[in-house]
Structure 1
C-alpha cells in the first residue's frame, strides 16, 4: 500500500497522547494516510512503552497501537523543547491530546494559545469526563467511565458481581469518536478555512452506547440490568448451551423464527400461544430458552451452527482469541498484516476495518522506537542542527531512543 493513495495523505497530525484514547484515534488517522507525529516525553515516552509483553526491548502493545507514526521525544516542560514544538504546530493541521484537562494550558499549549499561532489548527482533546463540568478535574480511566456510564450495570449475569466489558471499550470508542470528529472538522475547514476545538470524553462515549436502555427508560422509566448474553428487547437472541459449550443464536424475525424451529425440530413452538412474536417470546424468555436447550444441549456447537447456517438463521460459535487470530475468513480477507520494525522484525497487526475501494488504508511500519524521528522532524520544521544537538545534550529531547 503506498502512502500517496491514502485519503488523508498531506494531513499532518501532532499527538500528545498516552495509553489508549488519543493514540487509538491517531492510529486511525495514520492508517488513513495522515503523517502522525507522536510527541512523547524525552524520558520513557508513552507509558505503554513499559507495558508487556515485550519483543526484545519493545512493548508488544505499543508497536501495534502506534503503527504508521513517527516519534519525536521532547520534554515539553523545557522552554527550548516547547519552542521546538511550536514550530511543529505552525505547520500542523491537527493536534490530538489526552492529558488531564488544564495540563496543556499550564504548559502554554492550550487551544487558545495555539489558535493564535495557527488559526487553521484542529485541536482535539480526549479526557475522562470532558473539559468542563463538576467531574472534569477528576482522573478518569476506562473502568471508571464504564462504571459511571452505566455499562457495568448491564454487563454480566444477574446476581453476579459487577463486570466490565472485556476490552477498554470507553477508551477505544472515545478514540473512534475523536478520529471521526477530526475528519469532520477538517471537512469544515475546507469550507471556512478555520480550525476548531473538539472535546470528547470517555464518559459520554460510554453513555452513547445506551441505545436500547434509553429507549426503555425514556419510554417507561424502567432501568435495565444485566442479562448475560441475552438481548434487552428481543428473543431468542443470546447464547444457548450445546453439548460442548455454547452457541449464539438470533431468531427474532418471523422468517428466522420459523427457520430456526424447523432446523432444530422445534416446530411445536410455532403454534405455542406464548411465542407468537418476538415481544411475546421476550416476556416468556426463561421458559423458551429452557425448551430450546433441551434440544441444543444434546448437539455439538458445530452441528448446531451447520444446521442453522443451512437454514439461513443468524448464529455463530463463541471463539476465543486464539481462534480469532487464526480465523480462515479473516485470512481470506487479508485482515492481519505484518509491519516492519527496525529492531524486532515483522510485527503482526490487527487490520483496519475501514475498506476503501479507491483510497485504501496504509500498511507501513510498526510503532517507532522512542525519538526515532526527532532529528528529521525538527529539521523539517526549521530547527537547526546545533539547536537539535543542544536539546538532546540538555535532556530536553531524545533521538533514536538515546
Structure 2
C-alpha cells in the first residue's frame, strides 16, 4: 500500500489476510475486469468498486441485474462507491483515491481513459507507485484499438471457434466466456508481477492485456502447431487432436470421457475390455498407428462400451489405471464428492436474498486461503466510509450527493 493509503474500514470483514495491504480501485464491468478484481477481493485486498451514479452510464445494463447471479458472483467482497467521473469534482475525488491506492483496473475502450483524464500519465502524476491495469478487446493501440470487444468476437478472431465443434459443423463458440475469463486471469498475473517489481524499483507501471491476446494464448498448443509446424488445426469434435482413443464414448446409460494418453494406457484399456488381442495389433499398438486408424479404434470400442453402464465402466477403468471420467450437467458437478471436498461452492449471506452460494476461487494457500465473506454492496453503499478515509466530512459528502457527483 502506498505511504498515504488508509487501512480498510474496521467493520469490513477480511476475505483473507494474503493481500490485505493492497487497495484496488475497480472501474470494470461485464466480465474480464471483474474476474481480475475478484481474485484480489477474495484474497483480502480492499477492492473499491467505483460505479457511475444511476443514469450516467448509458450501458450500465450490460452487467445485468445487481441481485442477479452474475453480478453477485463477480463482485463479492468489494466495497461500492458511486462517483461521476465526467464531473470535475468526481474526477478530483477519484484522483485523490488514486493517491491512496496500489492498483487501478479498467476495461474501457482505450480512448476513454484519456478523455476522462485517468490514463496512466495522469494517474502516475498523482501517485508514481500506482499500477494501472487495462483490459481491452484488441489492445491499447493498433488498427482495432477502438473497436468494442466481446468474448464471442475474441473466440472467433483468436481461432477457438474453428477448432471447436464437430468436423464440418461450422464454427462453434465455447459454452463459457473463456476469452473474458482468461483475460481477467492474465491481467491479475500482470498486476502481481508489477507489484513484485515495484518492491524493487519503487515505481508502478502500466499493465495491458486484451481479449484477443488472451484467447490466442489460451489456444496454446493449437496455435503452436500452426506457428511451428505450419499445420492449421481443424475441428475434431470430442476427439483429442492427436491422441486416440481420447474423447467421448456412449455407454448403456449415457456418456463418459475416455482418455488413453499413451501406449501403456492402451494396453491397460485392452485388459479392461478383455481384448488383449488389440494390445499389440499392428494397426493400434502405438499412438501414431491408432491415430491413423482412429475411426476403426472407435468403431471397435463403441459396442463394447454400449454394453455396460457409465458407473461400471468408470470403476473398471479406474481399477486398471486408465483415465476416464463422467460428463456432468452443472447440477451434477456440485454433487460430486470430490467437488464438495474441494469446496468450490461458497455461501454468503445477502441482506435481501438470504444465503447465496457462489463459485469460490480454485486456488488453495496453506496459511492465507481465499474466502467469500461479503455479497455485492448496494451501489454507493460504502461511499461515506470510503470518502471519510480520504478526509471528507459528512457535510461535504452530503453536498456532493446533492450535486449528483455521488
For Structure 1 versus Structure 2, the TM-score category normalised by the shorter chain is over 0.9
1:230 paired residue number? 239
Does the CA contact (< 8 Å) of 2:30 and 2:63 recur in 1?
no
Task: Give the C-alpha shift of residue 5 in structure 1.
Answer: 4.9
Tell me whether 1:254 sits opposite 2:263 in the alignment: yes
Does the CA contact (< 8 Å) of 1:38 and 1:69 recur in 2?
yes
C-alpha distance in structure 2 between counterparts of 1:47 and 1:340, whole Å: 25
SS in 1 for 2:279: helix
Which is worse superposed, 158-167 or 171-180?
158-167
- 1:344-355 equivalence runs, <5 A: 344-355=353-364
1:17 paired residue number? 28
1:26 paired residue number? 37
Match of 2:147 among 138, 142, 146: 138
2:7 paired residue number? none
2:248 paired residue number? 239
Does the CA contact (< 8 Å) of 2:120 and 2:206 recur in 1?
yes
Does the CA contact (< 8 Å) of 1:341 and 1:368 recur in 2?
no
1:400 paired residue number? none
1:195 paired residue number? 204
TM-score (norm 2): 0.93
C-alpha distance in structure 1 between counterparts of 2:224 and 2:87, whole Å: 51
Map Cα deviations across residues 12-35 of structure 1 (whole Å, 9 max, x no partner): 000101100111100011111111
2:135 paired residue number? 126
How many residue pairs get aligned? The number is 393
SS in 2 for 1:238: strand
Does the CA contact (< 8 Å) of 1:126 and 1:174 recur in 2?
yes
Classify 1:50/1:164 alpha carbon distance in 2 versus 1 (closer, same or farther; 3 Å).
Answer: closer
C-alpha distance in structure 1 between counterparts of 2:73 and 2:280, whole Å: 53
Match of 2:314 among 292, 299, 305: 305
- 1:288-327 equivalence runs, <5 A: 288-327=297-336
C-alpha distance in structure 2 between counterparts of 1:336 and 1:195, whole Å: 35
2:191 paired residue number? 182
C-alpha distance in structure 1 between counterparts of 2:48 and 2:178, whole Å: 25
Task: Give the C-alpha shift of residue 382 in structure 1.
Answer: 1.8
Task: Give the C-alpha shift of residue 4 in structure 1.
Answer: 8.1
- 1:2-401 equivalence runs, <5 A: 3=14, 5-43=16-54, 47=60, 51=64, 58-397=67-406
C-alpha distance in structure 2 between counterparts of 1:194 and 1:219, whole Å: 38
Classify 1:219/1:177 alpha carbon distance in 2 versus 1 (closer, same or farther; 3 Å).
Answer: closer
Task: Give the C-alpha shift of residue 64 in structure 1.
Answer: 1.2
2:6 paired residue number? none
Which is worse superposed, 306-315 or 3-12?
3-12
Map Cα deviations across residues 102-154 of structure 1 (whole Å, 9 max, x no partner): 10110011111110110000100000001011111111100000000000011
Classify 1:50/1:7 alpha carbon distance in 2 versus 1 (closer, same or farther; 3 Å).
Answer: closer
Does the CA contact (< 8 Å) of 2:260 and 2:323 recur in 1?
yes
Task: Give the C-alpha shift of residue 267 in structure 1.
Answer: 1.9
Does the CA contact (< 8 Å) of 2:247 and 2:257 recur in 1?
yes
Map Cα deviations across residues 222-279 of structure 1 (whole Å, 9 max, x no partner): 2111111111121111111212221101112222111111111232211211112122
C-alpha distance in structure 1 between counterparts of 2:176 and 2:51, whole Å: 25
Task: Give the C-alpha shift of residue 293 in structure 1.
Answer: 0.9
C-alpha distance in structure 2 between counterparts of 1:78 and 1:122, whole Å: 24
TM-score (norm 1): 0.94
User: RMSD of the TM alignment (CA)?
Assistant: 1.8
Does the CA contact (< 8 Å) of 1:48 and 1:59 recur in 2?
no
C-alpha distance in structure 2 between counterparts of 1:326 and 1:371, whole Å: 37
Structure 2 unaligned regions, length at least 5: 1-12
Does the CA contact (< 8 Å) of 1:87 and 1:382 recur in 2?
no
Does the CA contact (< 8 Å) of 2:30 and 2:62 recur in 1?
no
Task: Give the C-alpha shift of residue 220 in structure 1.
Answer: 3.1
Does the CA contact (< 8 Å) of 2:243 and 2:260 recur in 1?
no
